[in-house]
Amino acid sequence: MPPEEDEQSTVEGGEGVGGFALLRALKSGSARKGCDPFAQTQRSKLQHRRARINQQINKEMRMRAGAENLFRATSNHKVKETVALELSYVNSNLQLLKEELEELNSCMDVYQNDSESISVPMIPLGLKETKELDLLVPLKDFISEHYGEEGAMFEKEIKEFMELRQAMRTPSRNEAGLELLMEYYNQLYFLDSRFFPPSKSLGVFFHWYDSLTGVPSHQRALAFEKGSVLFNIGALHTQIGARQDRASLPGLNQAIDAFQKAAGAFNYLKENFSNAPSLDMSTASLNMLVRLMVAQVQECVFEKATLLRTQKDFLTWLQLAQEAARVEDVYLLVHQTMTQAHVKDYVPFSWTTMVHVKSEHFKALSHYFAAIALSASDTELPEHEKAFLQFHVTMPEGPSLRVLLQDPEERRKLGKAHLKKAIMKHEEAMRIHGLCKILRKMDILQEVLSFAHKRSLSKYSEIDHEEDFFETGDAPDIHPKTHQKPEIKSPSFSQVKVTDLFHRLGPLSVFSAKNKWYPMRRVHLMRGENGFGFTLRGDSPVLIAGVIPGGCAAEAGLKEGDYIILVNGKDCRWSKHAEVVQLLKSTGEEGVEIGVITLQGSEGPKAAEKKAAAMSSGSGLLKSNKENSRKSLMNSKSASTLLVWNKKSKRSKNSTYSIPFTAVGDNEAMY
């Protein structure tokens, strides 16, 4: 999908966690609610600030575009000088606004939990903002033009969809908010099928702001709307993960699950959405976000291992050291990704610094726990030697591992080397932390770093002897290893069941934006000696699979491939096979009036034979179309159509209207 030029637009509303303002009731009785956009909570204030900055960036970019056009168009030297000065002023304002937005994206403490326990803050993402969208006129016009229905009859459904979109802009920071976003995303599947033909634009632009830069973008493609909602699903998972109390096992498990789902959402977006018009949805940015989420999962796994530590023995300390080394390893990868040329210019400096600090901090912890393990008394068992053999990246200098483990003095020397390296890395983490004014304001991070540093200094003083005249060697790095590998969990859209708001238009297999059909024909049929003279098959709508030459149906003008949508004034688009048959059988001597439609391109024996040749024999004769019969969105086969939105779906080879009269299934009958 090709990107389109940015469009400057405005956005209203915000995001809060307080009372509910927007309500939408589904036919099933469930209610979907968005948060009150005016609730004065810390989080809603952040979103209000984000909206205000987005509007100001929008205004400045409009001014810059106008000034650049004037600069290129004029030949007057004085005008060029004035415009150049104006451009300098506008660019300066844009830089200040982007710095303000960067500071806003760095407000990690607002999203953390209120627990008194000390935990290293996690990095959450703010939600992408969008402007209001009025679909009433475009959808009514499309219904009138394409479906031949009165558009005003569907105002209720259109307004219901618009209310759902409005609520989706302010989801609550919990499972209900995620369900709201999922529900809207699932409804977009139906909207896409109903109103977005492959060869024609609906004329509606979807406007979204970049979460990291605030730059507005717009596209006509519904895929941009889907991708932005998916991004917000991932972002909301990061906020839910960051707010968990990681001092408890349930909180840690919930944080791990949330960050894994965030990684899954961003990874899914990366694999299925290309040519994104905004930087936050580019491949490089999404790749960075996936790695960041995986790193935060790994950090939670380390904290979980620390929390579950029931024994203070040699193997336990080795495991913690390797877990910490694994966290350092993944954060180092994230830092390398954030400093790449295509990413570093728009990732907040505080994020890059935080990731760098964590990389150094966990490397220090890995060496600290290695020293603690070496100071343990139970290091002479065979399994200890085997574990220690795979502990270091390179073998430590000095005696063999067996001698080292049996000699307390050699263990003390190696432990002292590990502590020396731990202290150096702690000090490096604190130095990097001091370079970022935003992180300097985070007292809890400073407290964590300071505590870990003092703990290593204390342990070093404990094992350091005054008579040590040897030079402490350089401790080898610890081999990273984890007992719980992070899992990237793709979004499970099937968990949120929705009903097609526009189901009154008819089954999607026939009444969709990609199909075209001739106007409905009304046919009056009289029953002959051999019945009506046609074969029916399928449900919703029932298909005329074959017409007997010379029979009543053939004389009335019915053709193979016609769909019965009306019987004696009763709408039969959603009727089952048995229901239509019963209506036909109940007719008397006066006959029956039926309404039929024919899909364009499906009429005629040649078309039927051509399509039948592409089918494996009898493969689809007995199967009713799942898309027609379902009351909710997700069945096993329909999920793939929803998820991979940027791939053109092909007409099923089991299309019911493509089978000639000669191919008769067991569920077909002559009438």
- Helices 443-463 and 408-434 pack at an angle, to 10 degrees, of 160
pLDDT at 283 over 50: yes
When pLDDT is cut at 50, 70 and 90, the band that residue 391 belongs to is confident
Identify whether the C-beta of residue 351 lies closer than 8 Å to the C-beta of residue 103: no
* Range of weakest confidence among 267-281, 401-415, 504-518, 656-670: 656-670
pLDDT 10s digits, 169-183: 989 888 999 999 999
- Phi then psi for residue 600, to 5 deg, are -70, 130
Number of H-type helices and E-type strands within the chain: 20, 11
The whole model's pTM is what? 0.76
pLDDT, greater one: 68 or 417: 417
382 prior amide bond cis, ω within 30: no
When pLDDT is cut at 50, 70 and 90, the band that residue 525 belongs to is confident
Picking from 241, 243, 184, 239, the residue whose alpha carbon sits closest to that of residue 33 is 184
CA distance 237 to 490: 12
Residue-level pLDDT at 305: 92
DSSP class of residue 399 equals S
The CA dihedral of 56, 58, 64, 70, to the nearest 10 degrees, is -120
CA distance 120 to 30: 39
User: Candidates 3.40.50.11260, 1.10.150.20, 1.10.10.10, 1.25.40.280; correct CATH number of 123-261?
Assistant: 1.25.40.280
- Hey, what are 62's tokens? 């409009």
Residue-level pLDDT at 108: 53
CA distance 370 to 318: 6
- Hey, what are 280's tokens? 């936050």
- Phi then psi for residue 522, to 5 deg, are -100, 125
Which range of 29-33, 265-269, 607-611 scores highest in mean pLDDT? It is 265-269
- Hey, what are 452's tokens? 């870990």
Ramachandran bin of 8, using left for φ above 0, alpha for ψ from -120 to 50, beta for the remaining angles:
beta
pLDDT, greater one: 328 or 211: 328
CB atoms within 10 A of CB 145: 10
Residue 29's Cβ-count burial label (10 Å; 0-12, 13-18, 19+) is exposed
17-24 mean pLDDT: 37
| Percentage of the chain modeled with pLDDT above 70 | 76
CB atoms within 10 A of CB 20: 17
When pLDDT is cut at 50, 70 and 90, the band that residue 312 belongs to is confident
In DSSP notation, 79-101 reads: HHHHHHHHHHHHHHHHHHHHHHH
pLDDT 10s digits, 351-364: 999 999 999 999 99
pLDDT at 454 over 60: yes
297-314 mean pLDDT: 89
- Hey, what are 498's tokens? 């929705």
Residue given tokens 């089952």 in the structure block? 576
Picking from 363, 439, 449, 486, the residue whose alpha carbon sits closest to that of residue 123 is 439
Identify whether the C-beta of residue 129 lies closer than 8 Å to the C-beta of residue 15: no
When pLDDT is cut at 50, 70 and 90, the band that residue 253 belongs to is very high
In 3-state terms, what secondary structure has residue 222?
Answer: helix
CA distance 594 to 578: 16
Cα-only R_g, the chain:
33
pLDDT at 662 over 90: no
Can you give the residue ranges of every domain in the chain? 42-105, 123-261, 309-486, 507-599
616-645 mean pLDDT: 36
Question: Which amino acid, one-letter code, is at 336?
Answer: Q
412-419 mean pLDDT: 89
- Strand pairing partners for 521? 596
185-202 mean pLDDT: 91
| Percentage of the chain modeled with pLDDT above 90 | 37
**Domain 123-261 shares a fold with domain 507-599:** no
Residue-level pLDDT at 25: 39
Residue-level pLDDT at 358: 96
CA distance 284 to 274: 11
CA distance 497 to 29: 12
pLDDT 10s digits, 419-430: 999 999 999 999
- Strand pairing partners for 535? 546, 670
pLDDT at 188 over 50: yes
Ramachandran bin of 200, using left for φ above 0, alpha for ψ from -120 to 50, beta for the remaining angles:
beta
CA distance 445 to 222: 42
Identify whether the C-beta of residue 423 lies closer than 8 Å to the C-beta of residue 361: no
When pLDDT is cut at 50, 70 and 90, the band that residue 324 belongs to is very high
- What angle (nearest 5°) sits at the alpha carbon of residue 526, between those of residues 521 and 532? 85
pLDDT at 500 over 60: yes
Round the average pLDDT of the chain to a whole number and report it.
78
CA distance 53 to 49: 6
Residue-level pLDDT at 636: 36
Q: Per CATH, which fold does 507-599 belong to?
A: Pdz3 Domain (2.30.42)
pLDDT at 633 over 50: no
* Range of weakest confidence among 48-57, 209-218, 243-252, 452-461: 48-57
DSSP class of residue 599 equals B
CA distance 363 to 294: 17
Spell out where 199-318 has E strands. Answer: 206-209, 216-219
Q: Are strands 592-597 and 570-571 parallel, antiparallel or unpaired?
A: unpaired
436-454 mean pLDDT: 88
In 3-state terms, what secondary structure has residue 644?
Answer: coil
- Strand pairing partners for 208? 130, 217
* Range of weakest confidence among 104-118, 151-165, 521-535, 647-661: 647-661
